[in-house]
Structure 1
């Protein structure tokens, strides 16, 4: 077996973890990545650890129809880098990426082209490929990113994968800080102040509707506060997940009374998505009132539980609004129109970012609450309406 190394990079994983570390969101376009700097730093890290030269760096990503984008072409031009692409399906999901990585890893081990593999990924599905490569005589080292809040001290790495590898090394904070930079997008404070940094999408699109001093993102909170109040009396309120737009004061979380008063706030005509031809829809969409469904069980929730639930919804609103701003600042008019056309359905990749970011903020268990998910998705649309 040749005394040289091979580096396997799951680009989607690296983008997500790097964005979370840099911009507090897993949305990959929230950050800009200096590819040459990052790959050079990774290569130096592996050489310092193993003492052998690097055969090649394999860069795994996905694109529509598995075709090279301009970004992928720039990466492929970096010396010693081989770009391997899977596909992105209609729902924005990556397909074939993990399989390509697994096949290449085992293939290099079988031919003896490299004696040690460095893996940058966190996917549990790669565990079996790692074990197969090891059985063929290859050492596999995981290159991770520190996360002290994680059980194993690594960001977004499956336990099984961490247990299977021969060793774990970490990418330095200095390298990550140099390679990842936050993109300039629409921030809440900049938008409300009308600062020059607000993203412009044409003559009227950068205008933030602030004449009332209010912004979106509260109807879900009101509904679910009502849900908690009724649950204490032995009933449960289940809200319809329909398209809505609501408003809240910019000075802080509104009172429950104010929230309830806004449940039926109509969507202004200038805020509703315009159909082809520019005609304004005649129908004013409002959020349907909650339907009371009686339950045979009583929850007996106290004020502490209600306050905790309210704080979860506030956090979910903040996460939803932040993801919306990051996405809006990095999307095109065509992509925007496509997403509006499917409203209120969210593309799978946006929904995945929402859930992942929310889980990072409040935990997976609380993110799985339907009330939290409704608030999260509703806040995304409310923020898009506010800044569009």
Structure 2
């Protein structure tokens, strides 16, 4: 190997990525700066904020090469907002969207962060990772990444008191850095009453309230308990709001195979987001679903179609095919 080749190899091996839990970043910064608990109460100038975070990373890893910034946020029906579309056009920034339900809660974001960090490490795409997050759910992904030789630098936002990051996450980090409120101040502004009302009408994402005396258990345990206590009516409302536009507009009153398969894929995608990868993994390896789950799948598909599948065995098969195509893709299973 020539000296030039050796230098190029070293440069690639020093590559790093920045993974940002936007819900945590916004909520933590808004609390310390503005005393705000809802994302409808403030506006964020995201483009210069992201540029500032990249500059911070480059100053801390001067010999590294930025692969990209992963911007994990949420949106209704996973349809990006205007701000998210602007961010998606930034160089070296990849927007990853979870679903935002009717209660303003993010679904599937933590799972995407864990999956991306693990995949980057497993495929040797990076040597170091900067993780701006606070949830204890990130610990397993940090441990896996470290097992593949990746150094994980955990960043947090200065809390007004106590802590806003899970203690175990801080323990497992290779290094820890705290972004001060002053560093965040140029990018956050509180909205007036009229602007906040407009944001509510527009369906802006909502940050979960932070307890008065937060602890890792109270701050990061709440999002798991909410799904368990959600009423049937709320679950139906969320399902209706999550219906993708392309399904509504292409059914056309007939059973088109591609449309029916896409509905099966959509139902599987929604299940992974709302029930978690762990629960969906119990269905593997397939292709036969438990009777109760199979019935639920067909009911969900009928809601999207607006027609009964009882007398259409071929369409029922297409729904199941779409379901398994999505699940197999999610879990990287080849058939």
TM-score (structure 2 length as normaliser): 0.56
Higher relative contact order (CA 8 A, sep 6+): 2
Is it true that 1:38 corresponds to 2:46 in the alignment? no
In the alignment, the residues of structure 2 paired with residue 146 and residue 93 of structure 1 have an alpha-carbon distance, to the nearest angstrom, of 23
Task: Kindly provide the CA deviation profile for residues 218-275 of structure 1, in whole angstroms up to 9, marking residues without a partner as x.
Answer: xxxxxxxxxxxxxxxxxxxxxxxxxxxxxxxxxxxxxxxxxxxxxxxxxxxxxxxxxx
What displacement does 1:44 show? 1.1
2:166 aligns with 158
1:11 aligns with 22
What displacement does 1:328 show? 4.0
1:210 aligns with none
- Describe how 1:92-171 pairs up with structure 2 within 5 A: 92-147=104-159, 149-150=161-162, 155-171=163-179
In the alignment, the residues of structure 2 paired with residue 68 and residue 149 of structure 1 have an alpha-carbon distance, to the nearest angstrom, of 33
Secondary structure of the corresponding residue to residue 171 of structure 2: helix
Cα contact 1:120–1:144 (8 A) shared by 2: yes
1:179 aligns with 187
In the alignment, the residues of structure 1 paired with residue 52 and residue 87 of structure 2 have an alpha-carbon distance, to the nearest angstrom, of 15
What displacement does 1:359 show? 4.6
Change (3 A) 1:349 1:179: closer
In the alignment, the residues of structure 1 paired with residue 182 and residue 211 of structure 2 have an alpha-carbon distance, to the nearest angstrom, of 24
Secondary structure of the corresponding residue to residue 54 of structure 1: strand
Secondary structure of the corresponding residue to residue 65 of structure 1: helix
Task: Point out where structure 1 has 5 or more consecutive residues left out of the alignment.
Answer: 186-198, 200-325, 336-347, 365-388
In the alignment, the residues of structure 2 paired with residue 7 and residue 55 of structure 1 have an alpha-carbon distance, to the nearest angstrom, of 8
Cα contact 2:118–2:145 (8 A) shared by 1: yes
What displacement does 1:142 show? 0.7
In the alignment, the residues of structure 2 paired with residue 172 and residue 79 of structure 1 have an alpha-carbon distance, to the nearest angstrom, of 25
Secondary structure of the corresponding residue to residue 68 of structure 1: coil
Change (3 A) 1:97 1:67: same
When you count helix as a share of all residues, which structure comes out higher?
2
In the alignment, the residues of structure 1 paired with residue 100 and residue 169 of structure 2 have an alpha-carbon distance, to the nearest angstrom, of 24
Change (3 A) 1:148 1:62: closer
Secondary structure of the corresponding residue to residue 143 of structure 1: strand
170-179 or 73-82: bigger deviation: 170-179
In the alignment, the residues of structure 2 paired with residue 177 and residue 28 of structure 1 have an alpha-carbon distance, to the nearest angstrom, of 16
Task: Point out where structure 2 has 5 or more consecutive residues left out of the alignment.
Answer: 1-11, 219-335
- Describe how 1:253-264 pairs up with structure 2 within 5 A: none
What displacement does 1:162 show? 0.7
In the alignment, the residues of structure 2 paired with residue 14 and residue 349 of structure 1 have an alpha-carbon distance, to the nearest angstrom, of 13
Change (3 A) 1:129 1:166: same
Cα contact 2:29–2:158 (8 A) shared by 1: no
Secondary structure of the corresponding residue to residue 91 of structure 2: coil
Task: Kindly provide the CA deviation profile for residues 190-216 of structure 1, in whole angstroms up to 9, marking residues without a partner as x.
Answer: xxxxxxxxx3xxxxxxxxxxxxxxxxx
Secondary structure of the corresponding residue to residue 70 of structure 2: strand
Cα contact 1:131–1:164 (8 A) shared by 2: yes
| RMSD, matched Cα | 2.8
Task: Kindly provide the CA deviation profile for residues 135-182 of structure 1, in whole angstroms up to 9, marking residues without a partner as x.
Answer: 0000000111223632xxxx4101111111111012244430111122
What displacement does 1:90 show? 3.5
Cα contact 1:22–1:31 (8 A) shared by 2: no
What displacement does 1:62 show? 1.0
Cα contact 1:25–1:357 (8 A) shared by 2: no
- Matched positions, count: 205
In the alignment, the residues of structure 1 paired with residue 169 and residue 147 of structure 2 have an alpha-carbon distance, to the nearest angstrom, of 15
Cα contact 2:32–2:160 (8 A) shared by 1: no
Change (3 A) 1:60 1:349: closer
Secondary structure of the corresponding residue to residue 79 of structure 1: coil
In the alignment, the residues of structure 2 paired with residue 21 and residue 329 of structure 1 have an alpha-carbon distance, to the nearest angstrom, of 24
